[in-house]
Chain A
Amino acid sequence: MKYLMFVVADPDAAKEAPDPEVDDVEDWVERNDASGARIMGERLRPPADATSLRRRGGKLLVTDGPFAETREWIAGFDILECADLDEAIAVASKHPMAAAGSLELRPFWPFEG
């Protein structure tokens, strides 16, 4: 199954002491690229650099900022290919942002179904 893993920044968690259970991000990427669990991923510029847009009443509205203002924001993403949710949880649990922020696993919507 494919999962999109949102990497979510949390300013409070980032202040905590480092957790020895998680990997360095370079090690995490290298290991999961090698095993085939990580298909691709990117770090993203902060919400200050975000642009939102929508079409309403036939007009295009372009605004500065993310779609929702929260303390937590999406700092990056990875696409995972795992047998099931437990395998995806095991992979995600070693990502450094599991300790310094949080991760959200979203299954892809399959073509058939």
Chain B
Amino acid sequence: MTGGERVTADEVGRALADAIAAERLRIVATLIRTTGDWDLAEDAVSDAAERALLHWPQDGIPDNPAAWLTATARRRATDVLRRADVERAKLAELAAEQSLTDTEGMPDMSPMTDDRLRLIFTCCHPALPLDARVALTLKVVSGLPTEAIGRAFLTSEATMGQRLLRAKGKIAHAGIPYRAPSDDLLPERLDGVLAVLYLVFTEGYATTARDLADEAIRLGRLLVNLMPDADEARALLSLMLLQHSRRDAREVDGERVTLERQDRSRWDHAAIDEGLRLRQPPSAPRGAYAMQADIAAVHAVAADADDTDWPAIVNLYDELFVLVPSPVVALNRSIAVGMSEGPLAGLAHLEDIADDPKLVDHYLVAAARGDLLARAGLHKEAVIAIERAAELAPTDQERRQLSDRAAELRRA
């Protein structure tokens, strides 16, 4: 303790925030394992944080704030259990836990027995509905308030609370185990975890809830640290970093700016470097995230759209399409063909895929068609296509931007 000295509220707040960021997940994850009670684990940590705010201003900030929080949360959990007079077994196990931080860095401990991984895999169990997996991960793993999660997913706090309650109920009733999966289930289960992280990321990317994208990256880093051999986890982190590096350039004065027109000096080069470093050697077998990371990397190293290695991007989309034969991949491929081999070649590819039921009347197809037509110098046709895209666009902002683009072309 720095005992006796007066500490400011700012210092206390900072020390507490750091300790929570460093240790909250480990404390919650271990308390869930030892007590089997999810709500108790979360409450005990909140309670410890409240006590810190009460005691630290007077007693001083402890030398090891994280250890203080851990001990206080554990004591709180023990008290609640004792008061509830639950079976002695749970208490015995909790007492046997020594200190939660003692287990850290034990040399013979497999990373797969890390409580944080148990928690992540349990929250992302495929027997839970996808929206519940996302909500549980953000609530229990990230520690976001229910209200904030509800806001990010455009539902009320009450609805989100119900969703969390149902998910925790299913974990208990259906016998979803609290552990990382066995080796034979691992690849498939890891895919499920990565899908949840990427969904959190894209939700943050698509909306203004940018802190969700930051949180997805934080969780991605944690997963890579806990599972250093999981190539697809590294690839996903690389992809998220490379996409997120454009965050300050892709929206200017509230308007979305396309990749081609972005001011690349505003890209986050530290994030790009980290993303590039995480990529695997080209010879390694790659999954869908690795291929998308490679595509993002080609953009990241290009000075501008003209400098971009478009033939490489077309090849990468070809590879990706084998793995993920989705119409959106095909659409992006035809845009890349348009940049690589010229707008008429791009248009030919686009018309080959435009009849796909998932793409008919899709505004992105109409917008891509308009863009390729404009590049080919067919301005009148381009205006028709972009006006059609504006009619089909899902948001006001995109509708307005497409209308502006049509007006711009009409003048050209």
Contacts and interface: CB of A to CB of B under 8 A. Distances in A.
Nearest to A3: B175
Nearest to A82: B175
Interface string B169-198: 000011111010110110000000000000
A72 interface: no
Which interface residue of A84, A85, A105, A107 has the most chain B CB atoms within 10 A?
Answer: A85
B173 A83 contact: no
Q: Chain B interface mostly helix, strand, loop or mixed?
A: loop
Contacts of B17: none
A38 to B, nearest CB: 16
Interface in A30-48: none
24 contacts: A1-B175, A82-B175, A83-B175, A83-B177, A84-B175, A84-B176, A84-B177, A85-B127, A85-B174, A85-B175, A85-B176, A85-B177, A86-B176, A86-B177, A86-B179, A86-B181, A86-B182, A86-B185, A88-B175, A89-B127, A89-B185, A90-B185, A107-B174, A107-B175
A39 to B, nearest CB: 16
A107 B185 contact: no
What are the nearest 7 A-B pairs in CB distance?
A: A84-B177, A1-B175, A85-B175, A84-B175, A85-B176, A86-B177, A107-B174
Nearest to A1: B175
A83 B125 CA distance: 16
A33 B25 CA distance: 41
A3 B176 CA distance: 12
Interface in A47-103: 82-90
Contacts of B176: 84-86
Interface string B150-185: 000000000000000000000001111101011011
Given A85-B127, A86-B182, A86-B185, A107 B173 contact: yes
How many B residues touch the partner, as a band? 10 to 19
B173 to A, nearest CB: 6
A82 to B, nearest CB: 8
A21 B175 CA distance: 25
A85 B189 CA distance: 14
Contacts of A88: 175
A90 B186 CA distance: 12
Nearest to A105: B174
A87 B185 CA distance: 11
Contacts of B127: 85, 89
Nearest to A110: B173
A94 to B, nearest CB: 11
Contacts of A85: 125, 127, 174-177
Contacts of B175: 1, 3, 82-85, 88, 107
A17 B198 CA distance: 34
Contacts of B182: 86, 90
Interface string A1-14: 10100000000000
Nearest to B185: A86
Nearest to A84: B177
B197 to A, nearest CB: 21
A33 to B, nearest CB: 21
Contacts of B173: 107
Interface in B112-135: 125, 127
A83 B179 CA distance: 13
A85 B174 CA distance: 6
A90 B185 CA distance: 9
Contacts of B181: 86
A79 B179 CA distance: 24
A45 B319 CA distance: 48
Nearest to B184: A90
Nearest to A85: B175
A107 B182 CA distance: 21
Most A CB within 10 A of own CB, among B174, B179, B181, B185: B174
A80 B397 CA distance: 54
A89 B175 CA distance: 11
A84 B181 CA distance: 12
Contacts of B184: 90
